[in-house]
Amino acid sequence: MANRLSDIKACVFDAYGTLFDFNSAADRCRDVLGDKADELSAVWRTKQLQYTWLRGLMGRHKSFWDVTGDALDFAMDTVGVSDGALRERLMGLYYNIDAFP
């Protein structure tokens, strides 16, 4: 077994959605979002991925953090939430999202 592993040069993990629960930020804001938490989280993640793909195809790179914020702005608008303090809270929570058990 040791010989088969000796040629490994790198290991790659898909962190978001595999190791880290991207829904945890919105879950921890259920006190403010209520029933909108699940929809906001779903729209946020979908738009985050779409923005990443589109910007990559267009050659208009932005950092993952900027894309995450842009996607959150879209998601909040989509679910009808306009609250700057909540946006900052969600972004702060996303910076430290929970790992899956």
Q: In angstroms, how far apart are the furthest CA atoms of the chain?
A: 57
Catalytic site residue 14?
yes
The rounded distance, in Å, linking the Cα atoms of 51 and 70 is 8
Query: 64-79 vs 36-58: helix axis angle to the nearest 10?
Result: 140
Selecting among 14, 21, 31, 66, the annotated active-site residue is 14
Catalytic residue set: 14
